[in-house]
Amino acid sequence: MSNTDRKYTLVTGGTGKTGRRIVENLQSMGVPTRVGSRSSTPSFDWNNDSNWDECLENVEAVYISYAPDLAMPGATDTIQAFVDRAVVSGVKRLVVLSGRGEEEAQACEQIVINSGLEWTVVRASWFFQNFSEGAFIDMVLAGQITVPAGDIQEPFVDVDDISEVATVALTQDGHNGQIYELTGPRLMSFADIAADLSAATGREISYISVPHDAFVNEVKESGAPQDVVWMLDYLFATVLDGRNSSLTDGVHRALGREPKDFRDYANEVARSGAWKVAA
């Protein structure tokens, strides 16, 4: 069968942290891939369904990455509408990225599970890459991580591991009906994160726990987009309460190997120069 005859895999959020990596994985495998983003052609926007049918045309599998988070109010209606369109369009397989410990997001998971299609849930912990590509990189560069996290421990996970799990679920049989809870190999407080970042960068990076309201106000005043403010407010107020302070074997079940450790990630990013501070 030629590439022109093969069906596509649609990656929503295709320029985001996980989506971009999944697109690269699929393309390297020769899988016909459609990037679902506002800047793509056809464009894809969770808040505008006018192009959804075109994006879903001749698509066999879909990676669902909803921004900013499946727990956001209104997400269930949007996911239900999208899944209904996917069913009508002849999609066979759905892989949804969800958040570990997010009860609200599990309502969206159920929509995918009850779709009648093949499905896999990828339920992830906090990303390593938040410190190099996301909300906390400026704090790392400034040498001070100031968040309202106390001494709560979280099993941070590498986005590369998440993306590899999603890739195999999209392209291989044997993952249908699986809920993969993905964690890194150890529980870490933000103080532990700061210590590993200090060791990797060769400079002092401290951790200061601040009051929740003060943190949210600071994020607002920084000019962050409203959805980012909402997500950080939600995550620190709701999810980071100890409910996720346990490890899982999701990466090993999906990939047959252990997850990457934060220390290895930090050393790789430090070598890349992403945390280099101008003298």
- pLDDT tens-place string over residues 211-255: 999 999 999 998 988 988 998 999 999 999 999 999 999 999 999
* Average pLDDT estimate for 26-43: 97
Lowest mean pLDDT among 33-47, 146-160, 218-232: 218-232
Quick one: what percent of the chain has pLDDT higher than 90? 92
Helix pair angle (262-272, 190-201), 10° resolution: 40
CB 227 within 8 Å of CB 68: yes
What's the one-letter identity of residue 167?
Answer: T
Residue 32 clears pLDDT 70, i.e. is over it: yes
pLDDT, residue 265, reads 98
CB 8 within 8 Å of CB 34: yes
Residue 4 clears pLDDT 80, i.e. is over it: no
Helix (H, G, I), strand (E, B) or coil at 139: helix
pLDDT, residue 5, reads 67
186-203 pLDDT tens trace: 999 999 999 999 999 999
Task: Give all domains of the chain, ordered by start, each with its CATH number.
Answer: 8-125+158-183+246-259 (3.40.50.720)
* Average pLDDT estimate for 47-69: 97
In angstroms, the CA 91 to CA 7 distance is 10
Does an H or E element contain 99, and which? strand 93-99
Name beta bridge partners: 98: 123
pLDDT, residue 134, reads 85
How many whole angstroms from its chain centre is CA 129?
A: 9
Q: Indicate the pTM of the whole model.
A: 0.95
pLDDT, residue 7, reads 96
pLDDT, residue 1, reads 34
Q: DSSP secondary structure string, 17-66?
A: HHHHHHHHHHHHTT--EEEESTTSSS--BTTBGGGHHHHHTTEEEEEE--
pLDDT, residue 142, reads 97
73-113 pLDDT tens trace: 999 999 999 999 999 999 999 999 999 999 889 999 999 99
Residue 2 clears pLDDT 50, i.e. is over it: no
